Amino acid sequence: MSDIVVGVIGFGTVGKGVVKILLNDREILEQRTGCRVELKRIVDLDTTTDRGITLPAGMLTDDIAAILEDSEINTVVEVIGGENPARSFIEKALEAGKNVVTSNKEVIAKHGKSFTDLAKKNNCTILYEAAVGGGIPVLHAIRNSLSANRIEKVFGIVNGTTNFILSKMTETGADFGETLREAQALGYAEADPKNDVEGYDAAYKLSILASLAFRCSVSFNDIYREGITRISAEDIRSADRFGYTIKMLAMGINHPDAIELRVHPVMIEKNHPLATVSDAFNAIYIKGESLGESMLYGRGAGELPTASAVVGDVMNLAFRGDTAFSRDTEFALNERKVMSINECFTSFFIRCVVDDAPGVLAKLSNIFANNEVSIQAIQQIDAEAGKATITIVTHRVNEEKMRAALNEIEGLPCVQEVASVIRVGLGDEQL
């Protein structure tokens, strides 16, 4: 490809960042790629809001055909987000033989394989580095630098909103609701934070990570998901007493006969590198057969970090030259079984409010023993007014057996509430 002629769909936060880089750093981009890099058109429904950028006359329009039907535009950047109409725009661009760069994790998680199949058919490429980790080059690393590895594990703090909330709860001792409101006031969380705090965003990103890392087809619907809405200040304090920090993790484990995929809060040891990732930063921990352990760290969102990854993909297209489609961009190659959550093994933290009476601990212990749940540590705290709080950390146990034990415990007359159930550890002993 001798020239890169770009059309940008979406002029919001990320789109604005992309436009800034393409216009302000054009000379640098052309020096590094050895070809012309031209931003020709921007399409957005809102053509009147002042974004603080001076654009050439006629560059901004609300007509999508100005990009999709322009034969000179060979690279389409989609940064509107969401599944629709982004899916339709991407498909039409690929059908026209145009390369596509997107930061849209939802549409890639749901339709990545069909997009890469379409790109292959029409001898073009779709790249989506910015869909996971913002400015962190994790997908390129997995596709290229680590391609000689059998990747055994991919763990990630991949949502800045939830990491900000949990970090602030740890620092201040505040509860979830109070910290969420602070995150919303600072712009880290949306007015409707469900996509972040319920784990959907992280699950989209894990779907993409696992598909590339394990070279297999992963459905978003096969990923087990829990959010952070039930994490309390008391959970944070309890984790600290046991030497843990609570983080929201996307976890992928490559077993010989299946893959394990889950998104949920995890208590991790304070000395693990992921435990030190605070504020709205992201980090992805990778364990490869030859590589060993590695971690990539940086800003996982924001105008310019995400735009940096988007424009990096545009430059990657230029570096590829006239070879549009290459095998490293294929989204999935193999079919693999995804384990149900009931088949997984992990340790657990349990916090129970019980009657402050003789024999309660013995009843709990008997139920755990009958369900083959081994206890690693137990503490009783805050005994007052006829009730006590008991915190328990188990050894690794099958999820189904743990659930059976908890169902029995919840049915005991002496148990007032099972207040918290949080998974513990990164499963290092599983491989």
Backbone phi, psi, residue 76, to 5°: -110, 125
pLDDT band with cut points at 50, 70 and 90 for residue 430: very low
Helices 200-213 and 105-121 sit at what angle, rounded to 10 degrees? Answer: 30
pLDDT band with cut points at 50, 70 and 90 for residue 199: very high
Mean pLDDT taken over the chain = 91
Instruction: Determine, yes or no, domain membership for 354.
Output: yes
Which structural domain range is residue 203 located in? 138-299
**In the predicted model, is pLDDT for residue 403 greater than 90?**
yes
Q: Which residues contact 368 (CB under 8 A, 6 or more apart)?
A: 374, 375, 394, 405
Q: Which residues pair with 156 in a beta bridge?
A: 250, 284
- How do strand 415-424 and strand 259-269 relate by DSSP bridges? parallel
Active-site annotation holds for 110: no
Q: Do residues 30 and 100 share a domain?
A: yes
Q: Do residues 227 and 353 share a domain?
A: no
Q: Which residues contact 312 (CB under 8 A, 6 or more apart)?
A: 129, 137, 140
Number of independent structural domains in the chain: 3
Instruction: Determine, yes or no, domain membership for 335.
Output: no
Q: Residue holding tokens 């057996």? A: 401
pLDDT band with cut points at 50, 70 and 90 for residue 386: confident
**DSSP codes joined into one string, 187-229:** TSS-SS-HHHHTSHHHHHHHHHHHHHHTTB---GGGSEE--ST
Q: pLDDT tens digit string along 58-77?
A: 999 999 999 999 999 999 99
CATH value at residue 15? 3.40.50.720
Q: pLDDT tens digit string along 262-300?
A: 999 999 999 999 999 998 899 999 998 888 889 999 887
Stretch among 29-43, 86-100, 294-308, 404-418 having the lowest mean pLDDT: 294-308
Q: Residue holding tokens 């790109």? A: 119
Q: Which of 16, 153, 205, 247 is catalytic?
A: 205
**In the predicted model, is pLDDT for residue 327 greater than 80?**
no
CATH value at residue 273? 3.30.360.10
- Neighbour-count burial for 235-251, b at 16+ CB within 10 Å, e otherwise: bbebbeebebbbbbbbb
Q: Is 109 helix (H, G, I), strand (E, B) or coil?
A: helix
Sign of the CA dihedral running 217, 335, 146, 274: positive
24-28, 184-188, 383-387: which is most confident: 24-28
For residue 189, CA distances in Å to 132, 250, 264, 341 come to 17, 19, 18, 28
Question: What confidence score (pLDDT) does residue 283 get?
Answer: 95
Q: What percent of the chain has pLDDT over 90?
A: 76
Q: Do residues 9 and 113 share a domain?
A: yes
Q: Do residues 316 and 383 share a domain?
A: no
CB 135, CB 305: distance < 8 Å: yes
Instruction: Determine, yes or no, domain membership for 334.
Output: no
**In the predicted model, is pLDDT for residue 431 greater than 90?**
no
Mean pLDDT, range 144-154, rounded to an integer: 88
Instruction: Determine, yes or no, domain membership for 309.
Output: yes
Give one word for 52, left, alpha or beta, with left for phi > 0 and alpha for psi -120 to 50.
Answer: left
Instruction: Determine, yes or no, domain membership for 346.
Output: yes
**In the predicted model, is pLDDT for residue 33 greater than 60?**
yes
Cα–Cα distance between 289 and 151 in angstroms, integer? 6
Q: What percent of the chain has pLDDT over 70?
A: 95
Cα–Cα distance between 89 and 104 in angstroms, integer? 12
Cα–Cα distance between 63 and 415 in angstroms, integer? 62
Extract the tokens encoding 415.
């148990």
Comparing C-alpha atoms, which of 60, 124, 42, 51 is closest to residue 90? 124
Q: Do residues 126 and 234 share a domain?
A: no
Instruction: Determine, yes or no, domain membership for 24.
Output: yes
Q: Do residues 205 and 279 share a domain?
A: yes
Q: Do residues 284 and 353 share a domain?
A: no
Q: Do residues 181 and 253 share a domain?
A: yes
CATH value at residue 371? 3.30.70.260
Q: Do residues 222 and 276 share a domain?
A: yes
Instruction: Determine, yes or no, domain membership for 117.
Output: yes
- Please give the model's pTM, rounded to 2 decimal places: 0.91
Mean pLDDT, range 375-394, rounded to an integer: 86
**In the predicted model, is pLDDT for residue 192 greater than 80?**
yes
Neighbours of 384 (CB within 10 A): 8
Q: Is 328 helix (H, G, I), strand (E, B) or coil?
A: helix
Cα–Cα distance between 86 and 100 in angstroms, integer? 11
**In the predicted model, is pLDDT for residue 325 greater than 70?**
no
Question: What confidence score (pLDDT) does residue 329 get?
Answer: 64
Q: Do residues 226 and 153 share a domain?
A: yes
pLDDT band with cut points at 50, 70 and 90 for residue 326: low
Give one word for 77, left, alpha or beta, with left for phi > 0 and alpha for psi -120 to 50.
Answer: beta
**In the predicted model, is pLDDT for residue 427 greater than 70?**
no
C-alpha 269: how far from its chain's center? 21
Q: Do residues 124 and 144 share a domain?
A: no
Q: Do residues 291 and 175 share a domain?
A: yes
Instruction: Determine, yes or no, domain membership for 336.
Output: no
